[in-house]
Amino acid sequence: MSSEPKKSEFQIAEDVTKLLRDLNPKDQERILRWVSESIGIPELAQQHSTPSPLGLPQTKVIEDATARTTDLRSFYAEKQPKNDIHFAALVAYFYRFLAPEPDRKDTINAKDLEEATRLAQRDRFKTPRIPLDNAEKQGYLDRAGNGQFRINAVGENLVAMTLPTTSGGGGKRKGPRKKTTTAGKNKKSTVKGKSATSKKQTRKS
């Protein structure tokens, strides 16, 4: 038996991504169709009668995000990242998978992030490197050297599956209401009682 530890879902997804990354979109789609059909995932495929080169029926994958979103501003509006860290992950994801072919890149840097704020019509960063560093600390990005950052499987899952969040983020968080304890009420009552007693003594004198 193999002594190698079982890979997590994210690690398997990352392996698949690495294998498909350098192929053109049509080849990527064709391979994903073959795989989805071979392992029997009806949600990802729709049967066709024309056989594929691998002897499997050709299938039609549900429309991928790459086919419907190639504009950063639209993608930003769709995903609604609630903070700077999520925005950094979103930008890295966009440039790696969704940007038009000439603009795609495996990594981003502070300059790319600053340009992304302009394209998304978002407030500029005073120090664009800080959100990238924080996104790396949170586990969404990996350092690639020379100020470059690459989105990893955790960051991909955040952008593709988690955003937008259902909390309606973006607004300012209201602080918790202050609770008046019983001790506090008793203290106030005691103070009022002392004050009333003092007034009576003053009148008698």
Residues 30 and 102 in one domain: no
In which band, very low, low, confident or very high, does the pLDDT at 20 lie, cut at 50, 70 and 90?
A: confident
Is the pLDDT score of 96 beyond 70?
A: yes
129: in domain: yes
pLDDT, tens digit, 9 for 90 and up, residues 56-95: 343 333 344 444 457 999 999 999 999 999 999 999 999 9
180: in domain: no
Whole-angstrom Cα distance, residue 82 to residue 86? 7
Q: What is the mean pLDDT of residues 165-180?
A: 44
Residue 90's CATH number: 1.10.10
Least confident of 108-112, 115-119, 126-130, 164-168: 164-168
190: in domain: no
Confirm if 157 and 10 have CB atoms less than 8 A apart. Answer: yes
173: in domain: no
Residues 104 and 147 in one domain: yes
Residues 37 and 95 in one domain: no
Confirm if 128 and 110 have CB atoms less than 8 A apart. Answer: yes
Residues 43 and 79 in one domain: no
Signed CA dihedral, 167, 173, 175, 177: sign only: negative
Q: What is the 3-state secondary structure (H, E, C) of the chain?
A: CCCCCCCCHHHHHHHHHHHHCCCCHHHHHHHHHHHHHHCCCCCCCCEEEEECCCCCEEECCCCCHHHHCCCHHHHHHHHCCCCHHHHHHHHHHHHHHHCCHHHCCCCECHHHHHHHHHHCCCCCCCCCHHHHHHHHHCCCEEEEECCEEEECHHHHHHHHHHCCCCCCECECCCCCCCCCCHHHHHHHHHHHHHHHHHHHHHHHC
Instruction: Give the model's pLDDT for residue 194.
Output: 54
Query: Mean pLDDT, the chain, as a whole number?
Result: 75
Domain count, the chain: 2
**Higher pLDDT among residues 133 and 12, named by residue:** 133
126: in domain: yes
Residues 49 and 78 in one domain: no
Q: 151 has which bridge partners?
A: 141
Q: Give the CB-side neighbour count of residue 165, counting CA atoms within 13 A.
A: 11
Residues 26 and 108 in one domain: no
At 39, list the tokens.
């392992």
Confirm if 34 and 52 have CB atoms less than 8 A apart. Answer: yes
Residues 72 and 154 in one domain: yes
Instruction: Give the model's pLDDT for residue 65.
Output: 46
In which band, very low, low, confident or very high, does the pLDDT at 200 lie, cut at 50, 70 and 90?
A: low
Smallest CA-to-CA distance from 72 within 53, 93, 51, 43 is with 93
140: in domain: yes
Residues 34 and 117 in one domain: no
194: in domain: no
Whole-angstrom Cα distance, residue 168 to residue 84? 15
- Give the structural domain span for 17: 9-62
Instruction: Give the model's pLDDT for residue 5.
Output: 72
In which band, very low, low, confident or very high, does the pLDDT at 120 lie, cut at 50, 70 and 90?
A: very high
Is the pLDDT score of 195 beyond 80?
A: no
**Higher pLDDT among residues 46 and 137, named by residue:** 137
Instruction: Give the model's pLDDT for residue 143.
Output: 98
**Higher pLDDT among residues 185 and 125, named by residue:** 125
151: in domain: yes
